[in-house]
Amino acid sequence: MAGSLNKVQLIGRLGADPEIKQMVNGKSVARLSIATSQSWKDKTSGERKEKTEWHRVVIFNEGLVNVVQQYVKKGANVYIEGQLSTRKWKDEATGQDKYSTEVVLQGYNSSLTMLDTRNSSNNSNLVSDDKSSLPNDNLNQASNDLDDEIPF
């Protein structure tokens, strides 16, 4: 095998407020639970169906932990890039080995982008859904003109 790639990209909503903990070395770690959903129309019944997947996300990157702690709350829409990691642990109740697969954000090859500011509307340095704050509203109209009949 010439090489390998372990990369995860998710866009979803937080199911709960982030959990911030201190590690033994004094650094902080953030844990998130992100939901991604897909919906479709059932061919036999015509009824709308939806399936939600829950993803455990662990953030070791100190800068991202600070951003998450200050600005990210339950319901926030986020885009994350990280790596899959499976860890083994022992269930204290049964003594059995258990495994957890998580999306890990650490180092330079991970990122977190807040896609809305529902929970932090008073912060002007965050991404906003308000299109009127764009420097040139003509850009929005120009992109709408591109939706005309495309010849291919």
Q: Is residue 97 scored above 60 in pLDDT?
A: yes
- Band of the pLDDT at 129, cuts 50, 70, 90? very low
Q: Is residue 96 part of a domain?
A: yes
* pTM for the structure as a whole: 0.70
Q: How far apart are CA 127 and CA 67, in angstroms?
A: 13
Q: Is residue 89 part of a domain?
A: yes
CATH of the domain at 72: 2.40.50.140
- The more confident residue out of 58 and 127 is 58
What tokens does 65 get?
Answer: 């932990």
Q: Is residue 17 part of a domain?
A: yes
What is the residue range of 135's domain?
8-145
Q: Is residue 43 part of a domain?
A: yes
Residue 57 Cα distances to 41, 79, 134, angstroms = 30, 12, 32
- Give the per-residue pLDDT at 50: 94
- Give the per-residue pLDDT at 1: 58
- Band of the pLDDT at 127, cuts 50, 70, 90? very low
Q: Is residue 121 scored above 70 in pLDDT?
A: no
Q: Is residue 1 part of a domain?
A: no
Q: Is residue 2 part of a domain?
A: no
Give the total number of structural domains in the chain. 1
Q: Is residue 19 part of a domain?
A: yes
Q: How far apart are CA 74 and CA 109, in angstroms?
A: 25
- Give the per-residue pLDDT at 108: 85
Q: How far apart are CA 6 and CA 85, in angstroms?
A: 9
